[in-house]
Amino acid sequence: MDDLFAARSQMALSLGFHIIFACIGMVMPFFMATSHYKYLKSGNPLYKDLTKAWSKGVAIFFVTGAVSGTMLSFELGLLWPEFMLHAGPIFGMPFSLEGTAFFIEAIALGFFLYGWGRFKPWFHWFTGVVVGISGLASGILVVAANGWMNSPSGFDFVDGKYLNIDPVQALFNDAWFTQSLHMTLAAFTATGFAVAGIHAYMMMKGKHVDFHRKAFTIAIVFGAVAAVLQPISGDISAKDIAVRQPAKLAAMEAHFETEKGAPLILGGIPDEETKEVNYAIKIPGALSFLAHGDFEAEVKGLDQFPEEHHPPVLVTHFAFQIMVGLGMMLVGLSLLYFFSNWKKKQWQSERWFLWLFVAATPLGFLALEAGWTVTEVGRQPWIIYEIMLTKDAVTPIPGIKYSFFIFTAIYISLAAIVAFLLYRQIKAVPDILEGEKEPLIDSKS
């Protein structure tokens, strides 16, 4: 394993890990605030128990998100010093604003978790909303930083020097909006389906069905609305990169040769040697239409770019297919949910219906990881698109693979512990509801 590959793997692992916790940290506060709102409006204690049960879980996810994020801010330098030396001052603006957002989030979370019975109910509710909004703001900001790597702006690149830096312009780069929009929706989709799936499973077990149905409903409504909007936003992203990063689009679509009326390739195995895609279904003209809104438009293929600047086609293409495939499945499930709500309420208690949602628990997160793979691997070999190569950015220190192994072990253990803790939280829910155990957040104090 060479150092560059080890560094890339470590970065991918850390981000892939962080993103899960970050999404939950961004979205769960909204679920909790909804449930809390219903409690304050209706006085139904089940909503209060739900808010508390969720917030206990969130504290665990939150700390894991915070430590993995802290790691990332060091890793940028530990792995990519040459990149940070130049990029730091340019794309640093979102990070410095993010500092404020995190701070507000952390403070509001302190208020929210420890505030039961201490503050006026609506102030307490409000602190929960603040957690969500500032979490969302930090997510959008950091994705804008990633957008800058895809679509660098806010400086002049002259003879290898970065001049006339304007961090505000760098923040509002061409990619920030499409990426942030798509990412925010993805966070709601992924978390919504994951949470709904867990509660659907609990409903199937037949205990405290009322409690779990309330939880399921809140989560799935958020998730389903976002899932339905996702393809629209994805289409905007695709049209956008067709212009900004045609090499990425070509890799996503395994589109080797420039052509007019380009077909959309579904499935298949791209062969980077022969530049052909085997076993694929081709829909004539569809790619031209998706990328440029015209069945006859010319779509740039990889042949327009020097070989050494091709992104890995196989990984990018597969990841893209996985994302879109899963996205469509989630749209289907969302429509099913809306339909049942409208016409067939009784389905929502039937086994097959619940099973479908249980089965969909991980799908949103899988789509999200696949989507990031598309964006990040599709940007290769550039770390700053068409400005700096990833291989020129990597740290000079040898032996990065050991660091990769150690951090892999750490992440695996953390993931295992979090799964274990979550399992125990869920197991404890009946105790909470039956009042055998004091469920309060501050039970020890």
Partner 1 sequence: MLYVVIIFLGLSVLLYVILGGADFGAGIVEMFTSSSKRDQLRSTTYKTIGPIWEANHMWLIITIVILFVGFPPIYTLLSVHLHIPLALMLIGIIGRGTAFVFRHYDAYQDEMQKVYNLIFVYSSFVTPFFLGLLFGATVGGQIDPEAVGFYEAYIHPWFNFFSVSVGIFTIAICGFLASVFLVGEAKRPADKQGMVRKAKGFILFTVLSGGLVFGASVVDEVPLVGLLLRESITIGILVLASIAMGLLWINLGKSNKAFPRLLGGFVVVSILSAFGYHYFPDIVITKSGDNLSVFNSAATGKPITTLAWALLIGSVFILPSLYYLLYSFQKDKSFSKE
The reply to whether 156 sits near partner 1 by the rule CB under 8 A is no
The reply to whether 66 sits near ligand HEM by the rule CB under 6 A is yes
Number of residues that bind ligand HEM (CB under 6 A): 39
With beta carbons less than 8 A apart as the criterion, state whether 357 and 196 touch.
yes
Among 35, 51, 138, 151, binds ligand HEM (CB under 6 A): 138
The reply to whether 415 sits near partner 1 by the rule CB under 8 A is no
Task: Kindly state the smallest distance separating residue 404's Cβ from ligand HEM, in Å.
Answer: 12
**Tokens 């097959």 identify what position?**
352
Among 225, 315, 366, 421, binds partner 1 (CB under 8 A): 421
Q: Is the peptide bond before 381 cis (omega within 30 degrees of 0)?
A: yes
CA dist., res. 294 & res. 105, Å (int):
45
- Decide whether 190 or 299 has the Cβ nearer to ligand HDD: 190
The reply to whether 166 sits near ligand HDD by the rule CB under 6 A is no
The reply to whether 89 sits near ligand HDD by the rule CB under 6 A is no
As given in the structure block, the two tokens for residue 289 are 């239409």
Provide the H-helix boundaries in 115-207: 121-150, 167-171, 176-204
With beta carbons less than 8 A apart as the criterion, state whether 155 and 122 touch.
no
The reply to whether 109 sits near partner 1 by the rule CB under 8 A is yes
- Decide whether 14 or 34 has the Cβ nearer to ligand HEM: 14
With beta carbons less than 8 A apart as the criterion, state whether 212 and 270 touch.
no
Phi then psi dihedrals of residue 349, to 5 deg: -105, 0
Contacts of 320 (CB under 8 A, 6+ apart): 252, 253, 370, 374
CA dist., res. 385 & res. 148, Å (int):
9
String marking each residue 330-369 x if it binds ligand HDD according to CB under 6 A: x---------------------------------x--xx-
DSSP 279: S
String marking each residue 45-64 x if it binds ligand HEM according to CB under 6 A: -----------------x--
String marking each residue 11-40 x if it binds ligand HEM according to CB under 6 A: xx--xx-xx-xx--xx--------------
As given in the structure block, the two tokens for residue 143 are 């994705």
CA dist., res. 198 & res. 423, Å (int):
10
Q: Is 316 exposed, middle or buried (0-12, 13-18, 19+ CB in 10 A)?
A: buried
CA dist., res. 143 & res. 140, Å (int):
5
Task: Kindly state the smallest distance separating residue 440's Cβ from ligand HEM, in Å.
Answer: 22
CA dist., res. 419 & res. 411, Å (int):
12
The reply to whether 76 sits near ligand HEM by the rule CB under 6 A is yes
String marking each residue 175-214 x if it binds ligand HDD according to CB under 6 A: x---x--xx--x--xx------------------------
CA dist., res. 32 & res. 10, Å (int):
33
Q: Among residue numbers 368 through 407, which ones bind ligand HEM (CB under 6 A)?
A: 372-373, 376-377, 379-380, 383, 390
DSSP 59: H
CA dist., res. 370 & res. 48, Å (int):
36
88 binds, among partner 1, ligand HDD, ligand HEM, none (CB under 5 to 8 A by kind): partner 1
With beta carbons less than 8 A apart as the criterion, state whether 155 and 86 touch.
no
234 binds, among partner 1, ligand HEM, ligand HDD, none (CB under 5 to 8 A by kind): ligand HDD
- Decide whether 360 or 367 has the Cβ nearer to ligand HDD: 367
- Decide whether 19 or 224 has the Cβ nearer to ligand HEM: 19
Among 5, 45, 118, 355, binds partner 1 (CB under 8 A): 118
- Decide whether 115 or 192 has the Cβ nearer to ligand HDD: 192
Query: CA geometry: angle at 293 spanning 287 and 298, to 5°?
Result: 55
Binding site for partner 1 (CB under 8 A): 56, 59-60, 62-64, 66-71, 73-74, 76-78, 81-82, 84-86, 88-90, 92-93, 95-100, 102-104, 106-111, 113-114, 118-119, 165-168, 395-398, 403, 406, 410, 414, 417, 421, 424-425, 427-428, 444-445
